[in-house]
């Protein structure tokens, strides 16, 4: 049975991705950093639906922990077919207000994503899949998002370059760029901001984690074998 590792899987988009891949028949390695309770609940939910999952606590920004994560997944499941790099932090604010600590937190995840892919390559089965979660904020000139969007833009370039290096093994590497999606990140947004985001989409609603999970599930499937090095915008037609 195929195995998928989802980083930052305990909540939000990562949780939805883990649930969807489990429903598609994957055994799921659930990576988390702090919220053990949420990770355990996710594993329980997967088991209730007849799936199999195990949790792995690791901060991918810590390169030793990052390397150990892949060793532990290999020891537990014996293989790896799909890596979904979903782990991230939200650091938004005026250009002049992002201090060096916030900047470093953002780019530590970028570095961790790079080395997660590096650590995954020897383990991935031929015709494996790597899916990186970026952000729709890289598509424009969004105020308050310079450092955040910049950290994600680097991941998009990793995606394109790596796709050229692993293609001979049939491995695809793609990125998904969500628009405004209903997760904990929106907890600080005002009603006015949320309504504006809704009206900028073609459907008059915010994205849901499941909307993104469905795109990831397609890219993880055999049907996506001819798609690689692509940046897939999943924002409901938002004009933002």
Q: What is the pLDDT of residues 50-101, one digit of tens each?
A: 999 999 999 999 999 999 999 999 999 999 999 999 999 988 899 999 999 9
Instruction: Give the C-alpha separation, 210 to 17, whole Å.
Output: 7
Whether 141 shows a pLDDT value over 90: the answer reads: no
DSSP alpha helices (H): ranges in 83-208? 100-120, 146-166, 191-199
Please count the structural domains in the chain.
Answer: 1
| Spatial distance between the Cα atoms of 132 and 90, rounded to a whole number of angstroms | 16
Residue 50 lies in a domain: yes
Q: How crowded is residue 237: how many other Cβ atoms within 10 Å of its Cβ?
A: 10
Half-sphere exposure of 231 (CA within 13 A, CB side): 19
The answer to whether residue 203 sits within a structural domain is: no
For the cut 90, the answer to whether the pLDDT of residue 189 exceeds it is no
Q: How far apart are CA 194 and CA 196, in angstroms?
A: 5
Rounded to whole angstroms, what are the CA distances from 198 to 138, 143, 184, 215, 240?
19, 18, 17, 20, 10
- Please give the residue range of the domain that contains residue 107: 3-180+211-234
Q: Global pTM? A: 0.96
Q: What is the pLDDT of residues 148-182, one digit of tens each?
A: 999 999 999 999 999 999 999 999 999 999 999 98
Asked whether residue 47 is domain-assigned, the answer is yes
Is 17 a member of any domain? yes
pLDDT at 153: 97
Please check whether residue 187 lies inside any domain of the structure: no
Tell me whether residue 193 is in a domain.
no
The whole-number average pLDDT for the span 135-159 is 94
Q: Which residues pair with 174 in a beta bridge?
A: 131
Does residue 190 lie in a domain region?
A: no
CATH, residue 18: 3.40.50.720
Active site residue 148: yes
* Cα–Cα separations (whole angstroms), residue 53 to 47, 65, 100, 121: 7, 20, 37, 21
Q: How far is CA 167 from CA 15, 85, 86, 123, 239, in A?
A: 28, 19, 22, 15, 33
CB 179 within 8 A of CB 204: no
Residue with tokens 């950093």: 33
Residue 93 in domain? yes
| Tokens encoding 212 | 């993104």
């Amino acid at each position: 049975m195929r195995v998928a590792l989802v980083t930052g899987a305990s909540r939000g988009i990562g949780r939805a991705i883990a649930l969807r891949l489990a429903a598609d028949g994957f055994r799921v390695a659930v990576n988390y950093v702090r919220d053990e309770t949420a990770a355990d609940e996710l594993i329980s939910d997967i088991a209730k639906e007849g799936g199999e999952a195990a949790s792995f606590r690791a901060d991918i920004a810590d390169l030793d922990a990052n390397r150990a994560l892949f060793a532990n997944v290999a020891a537990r499941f014996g293989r790896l077919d799909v890596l979904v790099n979903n782990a991230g932090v939200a650091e938004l604010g005026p250009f002049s207000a992002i201090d060096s600590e916030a900047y470093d937190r953002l780019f530590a995840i970028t570095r961790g994503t790079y080395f997660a892919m590096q650590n995954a390559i020897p383990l991935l089965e031929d015709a494996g899949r790597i899916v990186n979660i970026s952000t729709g904020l890289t598509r424009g000139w969004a105020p308050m998002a310079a450092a955040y969007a910049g950290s994600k833009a680097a991941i998009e370039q990793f995606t394109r370059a790596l796709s050229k290096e692993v293609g001979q093994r049939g491995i695809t590497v793609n990125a998904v760029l969500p628009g405004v999606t209903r997760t904990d990140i929106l907890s600080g947004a005002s009603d006015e901001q949320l309504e504006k985001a809704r009206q900028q989409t073609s459907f008059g609603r915010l994205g849901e984690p499941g909307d993104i999970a469905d795109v990831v599930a397609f890219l993880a499937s055999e049907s996506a074998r001819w798609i690689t090095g692509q940046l897939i915008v999943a924002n409901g037609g938002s004009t933002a």
